[in-house]
Amino acid sequence: MKQTKLTKAARGRECQVRIPDVCNGNPETTVLAHYRMAGTCGVGIKPNDLPGAWACSACHDACDGSSQVVGREEVRKLHAEGVMRTQAALIAEGVIAA
């Protein structure tokens, strides 16, 4: 898979999803976790990178459903908050514009 500017920007970053008792806090495992919702992705439709959060491997597993230690609604809320924190950091760094 081709790495985009935003997926590359996730490398070495602090996790922004921050799921309590799940987050491993290891920036070496951070990747861009895409927030998925109807109308933005699905069969044959790849999600855009903008609604993505910097997530450690443990939080990313919870976001994509491969780890179910936290309820789905709580994970979706924390993932959405992570997307907003990630976007705020990218705006502050001038990577994206508001």
Q: Which amino acid is at 73?
A: E
- What percent of the chain has a predicted confidence (pLDDT) above 90? 66
Q: Domain of residue 57: give its range.
A: 5-38+45-91
Mean pLDDT of 7-24: 95
Q: What are the pLDDT digits (tens) for 54-91?
A: 999 999 999 988 887 889 999 999 999 999 999 999 99
In a domain, 98, yes or no: no
Q: Please report whether residue 29 resides in a domain.
A: yes
pLDDT of residue 3: 78
CATH number of the domain that residue 52 is part of:
3.30.50.20
Residue 38: the pLDDT is 60
Among candidate residues 6, 19, 33, 34, the one labeled active-site is 34
Active-site residue flag, 34 = yes
State how many domains the chain has: 1
